Amino acid sequence: MRKVYLDYSATTPVKQEVLNEMIPYFTEKFGNPSSLYEIGAEAKEAITKAREQVAQLIGAKSQEVIFTSCGSESDNWALTSAAHWKKAKGNHIITTKIEHHAILHTCQALEKEGFEVTYLNVTPEGRIDLKELKDAITDRTILISIMMVNNEMGAIQPIKEAAAMAKERGILFHTDAVQAGGNVPIDVEELQVDMLSLSAHKIYGPKGIGAMYIRKGVALPPFLHGGAQEMKRRAGTENVPYIVGFGKAAEIARLQLSEHMERLSRLRDYFIAQVQERIPYVDVNGGMEHRHPGNANLAFNFIEGESLLLLLDYNGISISTGSACSSKSLEPSHVLSALGVPVEKIHGSLRFSIGDFTTKEDLDYTVECLVKIVEKLRALSPVSAEKGWN
Ligand SMILES: *Cc1c(COP(=O)(O)O)cnc(C)c1O
């Protein structure tokens, strides 16, 4: 049976060139980068090179990039440390209703400590309203965190404009750019953000390694205390092979960015057009204009997305209902809810995310399967276009 992977927003495979760079650092080049003898120095040099590669992906200086264990750690660090650091100035944080749980659950933990959090609404396209952001800022606002690209429906936020509002008021600005990395251009100088989170496994690097950009001059306190690694900003013996892999993945992502974006959006648009041509009552969730090039979040009206997902899985096709983290719960997606998508429609929504190894044949096969499965499920469904939702 054909195997089709359309869940690149959940994770990506490690590219062969990335793995090749990593392997020697598990075995012959195993030294601790803090050691003074040769294999230690060799490991240290490898980290320096990787830091430069990740920095280049986002237009940063290499000293502004700190390696962490994952995107979630970067998000937790940015919010928790910034909140505690700026507590004397105020207790108000602004974020959005559509953030990843690494941000939302950290905000909830901070609320338990007494911080107040404003969760901005989004339009049906999935974007924040800058006027609403402006109105939400008070004299007690200490931090604004807005994701650059949404993981469920791909909306790209006006980060430059939002960060400028924060800067004008002397407020720290963080962006979760985990989905943006390697999928849209990122230039921290243009954006003028203070902090930015990245993760390797969303850009064809290994899982369990992330990074945080911290603008020069922003004295964000450490989150993990211990040794003097990572310029004294993040303790723990460096995960050298994974850092090397992240660096290589970032280099490839940077060199191939425009080609990657062009190819993904072409395949994605083809897929959506085919699905809508062959299957009635399918809507795209979110707007098409400011969107991750590989994201197609589709609402199949009058059926349960879970059933569709399972039947696609029987046919060798891997997709998800939205965020990998909420796919085990039956709660309707907080992201699609914030867009104003009705609950019944959310239950029929699936995220197809296209990546570098996706081919047109994969998509044609997926469309064929969808046509058959959707027809079967709709025949069994108690609701339909004629009957309407009950
Ligand atoms: C995947 C993801 C994260 C978490 O990154 P991990 O490295 O898996 O911890 C955070 N934010 C967004 C938007 C993501 O897509």
Looking at CATH, the fold of the domain delimited by 16-255 is given as Aspartate Aminotransferase; domain 2 (3.40.640)
Of the pLDDT bands very low, low, confident and very high (cuts 50, 70, 90), residue 389 is: low
DSSP state of 98: T
- pLDDT tens for 170-219 read 999 999 999 999 999 999 999 999 999 999 999 999 999 999 999 999 99
- Helix 305-314 with 360-380: angle, nearest 10 deg: 130
Does residue 154 register a pLDDT over 80?
Answer: yes
Residue 91 CB coordination number (10 Å)? 18
Does residue 323 register a pLDDT over 70?
Answer: no
Looking at CATH, the fold of the domain delimited by 4-12+257-380 is given as Aspartate Aminotransferase, domain 1 (3.90.1150)
Detail the DSSP E strand segments found in the chain.
Answer: 4-5, 65-68, 92-96, 116-120, 141-145, 172-176, 195-199, 210-214, 282-284, 295-300, 317-318, 349-353
Ligand 1: lining residues by beta carbon, under 6 Å:
70-72, 75, 100, 102, 147, 151, 176, 178-179, 199, 201-202, 210
Q: Exactly one of 70, 107, 325, 369 is catalytic; which is it?
A: 325
> How far apart are the CA of 375 and the centre of ligand 1, in A?
34
Closest C-alpha among 55, 287, 352, 9 to residue 157: 287
**347 half-sphere exposure, CB direction, 13 A CA radius:** 10
DSSP element (H, E) containing 377: helix 360-380
Domain layout of the chain by residue ranges: 4-12+257-380, 16-255
Taking the CA of residue 200 as reference, the ligand 1 atom at the shortest distance is 7
- pLDDT tens for 307-319 read 999 999 999 999 9
Q: Is 369 a catalytic residue?
A: no
- pLDDT tens for 110-129 read 999 999 999 999 999 999 99
